């Protein structure tokens, strides 16, 4: 069933990928639905289950959208694809989006959903680490160039440690999980809700973590990124996509088994079902939604905090205010 659905979607949407690059008209299906592509921040994992849930439940269809979900190769590449109009929407991490906009990419956030950032230091539970001070003398794997790596020295300082107290081992993004699982480093920098369940499945050992957000430094996580031209040309499409996504996340958060079942049915190359369940279960609290608010509704203070941290510690130039990076009107549609 999954392969038939995937093949049908590919045939149906052949024209839409090319159309994203230059046509002013959004391609449509025979029954008038707009053909829309969403590129994820990475290959499918549990955090993405709400999109597949919304797809299966018909939430996007109800908004006049025929949605194709495409895997990504990292937030930076997803943001670039949005900037080059190779995809309609991107699901990407906020810190690299700030840097992308600072370099001139014409994109903007229309709402961050993981408002409590998943940035963390992860380690096997038998390492005896329970607080930042326990990292003293340890080796930590990180990837130069990403926001976690750039802000790690500041996070250490905020918790009473010097850079020299910890040895940082440079690793590529794909190699960090293996390095920790094989014991080549004591800990890694990463997103705990994605990597921890993966490592546990590979090693059979429990993984613990220290969230930056729990220890003095929160940066906004993943959300919806759109090209400026799309916002100008078709704001109604953006509103419709955001509404469907908010409903998908709100309902998936209350039905984790149903959401992960939908992902297992519709996604390609996703993790095992038990890993998906753990990943989404860990992701849901990161929504950090205010009482009565929908997922993705952001207080400006959270944007200001992230911008300030990136400006001070991650070389974000001419930072400006939240409005440079974020349009609040799409998640607050009233």
Which alpha helices (H) appear in the chain, and where do they start and end?
2-12, 14-22, 49-57, 59-62, 75-83, 94-102, 147-158, 176-181, 192-203, 228-233, 235-253, 256-266, 273-283, 300-313
Hey, which residues does 34 pair with through a beta bridge?
28, 65
The 8-class DSSP code of residue 326 comes to: B
The 8-class DSSP code of residue 58 comes to: T
CA angle centred on 76, ends 72 and 77, rounded to 5°: 45
The 8-class DSSP code of residue 177 comes to: H
Buried b (16+ CB within 10 A) or exposed e, 187-224: bbbbbbbbbbbbbbeeeeeebbbbbbbebebbbbbbbb
- Equal CATH topology for 2-116+220-324 and 119-215: yes
pLDDT tens string for the chain (334 positions)?
444 344 344 434 434 443 444 456 899 999 999 999 999 999 999 999 999 999 999 999 999 999 999 999 999 999 999 999 999 999 999 999 999 999 999 999 999 999 999 999 999 999 999 999 999 999 999 999 888 999 999 999 999 999 999 999 999 988 999 999 999 999 999 999 999 999 999 999 999 999 999 999 999 999 999 999 999 999 999 999 999 999 999 999 999 999 999 999 999 999 999 999 999 999 999 999 999 999 999 999 999 999 999 999 999 999 999 999 999 999 988 6
| Top-level class of domain 119-215 | alpha beta
Domain boundaries, the chain: 2-116+220-324, 119-215
CA 98, CA 194: separation in Å to the nearest integer?
22
Buried b (16+ CB within 10 A) or exposed e, 271-282: beeebbbbbbeb
Look at the block and give the residue holding tokens 């609040």.
328
Q: What is the pLDDT of residue 331?
A: 96
Let me know: does 230 contact 86? Beta carbons within 8 Å: no
2-116+220-324: CATH superfamily: Periplasmic binding protein-like II (3.40.190.10)
pTM of the entire predicted model? 0.90
CA-closest candidate to residue 221, choices 41, 38, 39: 41
């Amino acid at each position: 069933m999954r392969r038939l659905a995937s093949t049908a979607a590919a045939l149906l949407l052949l024209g839409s990928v090319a159309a994203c690059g230059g046509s002013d008209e959004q391609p449509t299906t025979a029954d008038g639905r707009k053909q829309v592509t969403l590129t994820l921040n990475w290959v499918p994992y549990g955090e993405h289950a709400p999109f597949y849930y919304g797809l299966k439940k018909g939430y996007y269809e109800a908004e006049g959208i025929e949605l194709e979900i495409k895997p990504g190769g990292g937030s930076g590449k997803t943001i670039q694809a949005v900037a080059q109009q190779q995809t309609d929407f991107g699901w990407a991490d906020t810190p690299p989006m700030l840097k992308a906009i600072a370099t001139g990419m014409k994109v903007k956030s229309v709402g961050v959903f993981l408002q409590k950032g998943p940035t963390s230091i992860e380690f096997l539970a038998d390492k005896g680490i329970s607080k930042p001070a326990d990292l003293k003398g340890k080796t930590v794997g990180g990837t130069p160039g990403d926001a976690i790596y750039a802000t790690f020295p500041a996070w250490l300082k905020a918790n009473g440690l010097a850079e020299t107290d910890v040895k940082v081992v440079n690793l590529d993004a794909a190699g960090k999980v293996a390095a920790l699982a094989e014991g080549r480093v004591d800990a890694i920098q990463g997103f705990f809700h994605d990597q921890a369940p993966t490592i546990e499945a590979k090693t059979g050992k429990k993984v613990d973590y220290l969230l930056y957000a729990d220890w003095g430094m929160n940066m906004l996580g993943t959300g919806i990124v759109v090209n400026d031209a799309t916002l100008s040309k078709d704001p109604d499409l953006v509103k419709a996509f955001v509404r469907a996504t908010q409903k998908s996340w709100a309902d998936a958060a209350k039905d984790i088994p149903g959401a992960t079942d939908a992902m297992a049915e519709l996604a390609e190359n996703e993790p095992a079902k038990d890993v998906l369940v753990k990943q989404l279960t860990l992701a849901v609290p990161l929504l950090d939604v205010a009482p009565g608010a929908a997922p993705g509704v952001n207080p400006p203070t959270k944007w200001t905090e992230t911008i300030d941290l990136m400006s001070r510690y991650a070389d974000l130039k001419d930072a400006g205010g939240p409005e440079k990076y974020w349009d609040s009107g799409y998640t607050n549609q009233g």
